[in-house]
């Protein structure tokens, strides 16, 4: 790691945008870094490793966070604002070091300090493990929201689970996905602080006693929830919020009977069983699996979190743990609880249990408080993803909560009957308790009934849940339903990951866009400025060259940086239609084989994403893409005109490398299946053009940038409905389109798997006989749209103009805008641009004379 300082300044990370002046000078960073490094070496060894250097830098940056963190929490306790609690089973945070340096305004100071010490800051940043505590979009959205809540000065807290193992590490072995555990904590986490003083008990099993209004939960088994706090810095405002993640700990006491029976090992194993609750993230968020461990994870999160929320509500003085509030009348005025999908929806019966059983609040008042405090975000319309817990499981694990949920349902159905007397079919559809087959609790229904606001995450998605998915509930509570189109944080997804483009933009319109992304509209008049267009083209090409070098290093594949970098990176799922992309690649390959001299712009197709370990078809699609790549990449007739690269182990830190280099973004889900998408927004912000269907946020992207600046193809939601009404016959498309038939026959006959000709027959049979997500119906329109992409790329300036208009239209898709809407329209709080004083300043902002370090 230690090296001769680089003489070539261009090799060093240069970020001229600072937004705020560096908070510490270079010498102070160096002295703090050396102090931490010296402590490590004295404690452990004589020779520093690269990881030692990383930890010394991380602790240096963390030192500058701590004072701001403490002062922020002091400010909240003194002002006693309404607090927002964002509950999510997933937080896909990625790496923390770079993001923290950017938000604190100390990146240039750290960069220069490391340079003077003979270290490469980029190499240090690469050592950090991704905090992969999420599957994909839902968890990454939660991470962006935390950044925005801090940057907007909201008194907000994230609550989740500190999984010992995050989303699995994906290895591609002979084209197949292999899963390895993600032991992200094996070297420790410099960003977290254990808080054992706030450890809380969480109960499971046992039985419910007494009446509903005077009930007790007895004979339960206890597990402890240990909180670990991570700081979430806002951008340039000295606000540092908290992400609190819970880790399961077994009680210290053993059952003495074990010892008397000589069963010591059994006693120890029981402790491990209790701690399994926070052992691993479930690697799927689109298929519901009714596993007991998952249920326990969901309750573990909400039980610990709500105890913490109630404690904080009762105590309004900093550092005070004695209750000062005894009435819960003001609870909804001081507490907003946002449920990120149905995973935390057990918060509703748990809050009712706390209010009724512990605080002795009457049912009617407790229900009013619960509904006013809770709000629910829906993230999917796929029926197999909606949670439905068997009552047999709930009665065993959470007996008191099942009792409460039955009563919630009883009272709710009385309301429904009063509004629609005699409509028993509606009663059946709306009941929280599903009676057909095994009796289950529908958690989405529970979340809607127990929340004052329900939102979708894109305009089209919100309309679908009102019109179809939850139509009966919309009829019942139309005032509860809202739309909150998703967004991304521009700090990570432009300022941090694409410094060249950030600088080019700032040179023209200043730096206000970092916190007000709508200012990018000021770029629109530059659409005819050829000098500026060539500047952003140059930045794009530099990013592509860097990515090409990475691909050569990691996969030993030579790609042409002048080719179209065509990317589809997201979880592998049939509804996202990576298979449609694959059909296009094979089509182009066949055309090139038939006519090697055809007029075709070279293209590098990159696909990345993880399939759930038990999802057979998704894993087969990964294998197919890799096999297709093996054939194409080694075909001398094709050469470098077409390449296929599977990006192994797609994750946040890899996304930060590839998104700035993309020319084309594939957002090709069947219309009506993708709730929103956020990858589409990241690509747009970084100047990629989108090829996609009118699904999710693509619809609003098209409205913002204009229909001429996006490649839209295929059926609309209404077209899909009409096709389904008529009856869909995928085989007719196979038989009527010769190019499609050739592609599917190649897949079926073993062209891409000569060693096992039957390997992909399931893919063929699925498409020709079922094709749930209507790939064959959209194939022809997709190929035509891709031909348009090919034609436009031949004119670099015309492409650059559309890329610039994409960037200029990105303002709506900032998570700052999304969170501002949540704050004002759901949580009842107002964002603020107040900048808190730094630790070395007095509370009025004056310099205290105390050194900043």
Residues labelled catalytic: 379, 570-571, 576, 678, 682
How many C-beta neighbours within 10 Å does residue 313 have?
18
How far is residue 313 from each of residues 152, 243, 310, measured CA to CA in Å? 22, 18, 5
Helix (H, G, I), strand (E, B) or coil at 763: helix
Cα–Cα distance measured from residue 373 to residue 367, given in angstroms and rounded to the nearest whole number:
10
Please give the Cα distance from 786 to 789 (Å, whole number).
Answer: 5
Strand partners of residue 442: 388
How far apart are the C-alpha atoms of 61 and 280, rounded to whole Å?
Answer: 29
Residue ranges of alpha helices (H) inside 216-330 are 256-260, 264-275, 292-314
CA distances to 32, 40, 111 from 115, in Å: 15, 21, 6
Distance CA(779)–CA(713), nearest Å, equals: 10
3-state secondary structure (DSSP) of residue 645: strand
Distances in Å between the Cα of 623 and the Cα atoms of 174, 177, 646 are 8, 7, 10
DSSP 90-158: -EEEE--HHHHHHHHT-HHHHHHHHHHTT--HHHHHHHSPPEEESSSHHHHHHHHHHHHHHHTT--EEE
Interior/surface letters 179-189, b for 16+ CB within 10 angstroms, e for the rest: beebebbeeeb
**Shortest CA distance to 103 belongs to which of 136, 134, 72?**
72
Helix (H, G, I), strand (E, B) or coil at 312: helix
Question: Which tokens belong to 31?
Answer: 């002295």
Evaluate whether 376 touches 447 at the Cβ level (below 8 Å): yes
The whole-angstrom separation of Cα 203 and Cα 358 is 14
What 3-state class would DSSP assign to 244? strand
* Spatial separation of the C-alpha atoms in residues 533 and 513, rounded to whole Å: 19
Asked if residues 170 and 96 have their Cβ atoms less than 8 Å apart, the reply is: no
Which pairing describes strands 207-209 and 216-218: parallel, antiparallel, or unpaired? antiparallel
H helices of 666-774, in order, are 679-685, 698-705, 717-726, 730-736, 738-749, 761-769
Measured in degrees and rounded to the nearest 5, phi and psi for residue 168 equal -55, 155
Per DSSP, the residues of 165-227 read B-SPEEEEETTEEEEE---TTTT--TT-EE-GGG-EEEEES-EEES-STT-EEES-EEEEEEE
What is the rounded CA–CA span in Å between residue 370 and residue 254?
37
CA distance 750 to 71: 65
| 464 closest CA partner among 678, 721, 725, 706 | 721
């Amino acid at each position: 790691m230690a090296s001769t300082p680089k003489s070539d300044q261009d090799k060093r990370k240069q970020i001229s945008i600072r937004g705020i002046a560096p908070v510490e000078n270079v010498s102070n960073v160096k002295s703090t870094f050396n102090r931490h490094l010296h402590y490590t070496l004295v404690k452990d060894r004589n020779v520093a490793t690269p990881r030692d250097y990383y930890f010394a830098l991380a602790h240096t940056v963390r030192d500058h966070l701590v004072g701001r963190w403490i002062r922020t929490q002091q400010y909240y306790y003194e002002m006693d604002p309404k607090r927002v609690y964002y509950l999510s089973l997933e937080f896909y945070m990625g790496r923390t070091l770079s993001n923290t340096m950017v938000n604190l305004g100390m990146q240039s100071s750290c960069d220069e300090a490391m340079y003077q010490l003979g270290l490469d800051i980029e190499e240090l940043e690469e050592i950090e493990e991704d905090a992969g505590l999420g599957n994909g979009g839902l968890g990454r959205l939660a991470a962006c929201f935390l950044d925005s809540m801090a940057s907007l000065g909201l008194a907000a807290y994230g609550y989740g689970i500190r999984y010992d193992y995050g989303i699995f590490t994906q290895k591609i072995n002979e084209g197949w996905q292999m899963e390895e555990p993600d032991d992200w904590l094996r070297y420790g986490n410099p960003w977290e602080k254990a808080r054992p003083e706030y450890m809380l008990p969480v109960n499971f099993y046992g039985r419910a006693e007494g009446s509903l209004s005077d009930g007790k939960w007895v004979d339960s088994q206890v597990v402890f929830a240990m909180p670990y706090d991570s700081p979430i810095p806002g951008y340039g405002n000295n606000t540092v919020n908290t992400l609190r993640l819970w880790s399961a700990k077994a009680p210290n006491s053993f059952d003495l009977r074990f010892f008397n029976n000589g069963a010591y090992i059994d006693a120890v194993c029981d402790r491990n069983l209790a701690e399994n609750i926070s052992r691993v993230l479930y690697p799927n968020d689109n298929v519901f699996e009714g596993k007991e461990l998952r249920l326990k994870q969901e309750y573990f999160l909400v039980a610990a979190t709500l105890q913490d929320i109630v404690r904080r509500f009762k105590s309004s003085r900093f550092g005070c743990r004695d209750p000062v509030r005894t009435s819960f009348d003001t609870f909804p005025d001081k507490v907003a609880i946002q449920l990120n999908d149905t995973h935390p929806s057990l918060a509703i019966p748990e809050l009712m249990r706390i209010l009724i059983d512990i605080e002795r609040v009457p049912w009617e008042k407790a229900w009013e408080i619960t509904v006013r405090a809770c709000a629910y975000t829906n993230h999917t319309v796929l029926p197999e993803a909606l949670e439905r817990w068997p009552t047999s499981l709930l009665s065993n694990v959470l007996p008191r909560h099942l009792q409460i949920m039955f009563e919630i349902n009883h009272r709710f159905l009385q309301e429904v009957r009063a509004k629609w007397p005699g409509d028993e079919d509606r009663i059946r559809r709306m009941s929280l308790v599903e009676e057909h087959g095994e009796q289950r609790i529908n958690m989405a229904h529970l979340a809607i009934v127990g929340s004052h606001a329900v939102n979708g995450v894109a305009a089209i998605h919100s309309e679908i849940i009102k019109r179809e998915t939850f139509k009966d509930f919309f009829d019942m509570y139309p005032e509860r339903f809202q739309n909150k189109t998703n967004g991304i944080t521009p700090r990570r997804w432009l300022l941090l990951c694409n410094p060249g483009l950030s600088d080019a933009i700032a040179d023209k319109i200043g730096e206000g866009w970092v916190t007000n992304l709508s200012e990018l509209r000021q770029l629109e008049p530059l659409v005819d400025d050829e000098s500026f267009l060539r500047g952003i083209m140059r930045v794009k090409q530099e990013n592509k060259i860097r990515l090409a070098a990475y691909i050569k290093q990691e996969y030993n594949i030579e790609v042409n940086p002048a080719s179209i970098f065509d990317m589809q990176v997201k979880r592998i799922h049939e509804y996202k239609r990576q298979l449609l992309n694959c059909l296009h690649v094979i089509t182009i390959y066949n055309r090139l084989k038939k006519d090697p001299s055809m007029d075709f712009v070279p293209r590098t197709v990159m696909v990345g994403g993880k399939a759930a370990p038990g999802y057979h078809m998704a894993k087969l699609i990964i294998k197919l893409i890799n096999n297709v790549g093996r054939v194409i990449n080694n075909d001398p007739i094709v050469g470098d005109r077409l390449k296929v690269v599977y990006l192994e182990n797609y994750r946040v830190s890899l996304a930060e490398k590839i998104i700035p280099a993309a020319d084309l973004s594939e957002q090709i889900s069947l219309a009506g299946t993708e709730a929103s998408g956020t990858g589409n927004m990241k690509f747009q912000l970084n100047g990629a053009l989108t090829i996609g269907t009118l699904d999710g946020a693509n619809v609003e992207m098209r409205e913002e940038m204009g229909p001429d600046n996006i490649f839209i193809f295929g059926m609309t939601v209404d077209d899909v409905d009409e096709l389904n009404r008529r009856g869909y016959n995928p085989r007719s498309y196979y038989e009527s389109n010769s190019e499609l038939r050739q592609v599917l026959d190649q897949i079926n006959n073993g062209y891409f798997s000569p060693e096992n000709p039957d390997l992909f027959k399931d893919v063929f049979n699925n498409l020709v006989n079922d094709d749930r997500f209507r790939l064959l119906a959209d194939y022809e329109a997709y190929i035509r749209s891709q031909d348009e992409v090919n034609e436009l790329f031949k004119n670099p300036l015309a492409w650059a103009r559309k890329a610039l208009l994409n960037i200029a239209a990105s303002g709506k898709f900032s998570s700052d805008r999304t969170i501002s809407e949540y704050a004002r329209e759901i949580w009842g709080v107002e964002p603020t641009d107040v900048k808190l004083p730094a630790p070395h300043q007095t509370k009025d902002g004056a310099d205290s004379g105390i050194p900043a370090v």
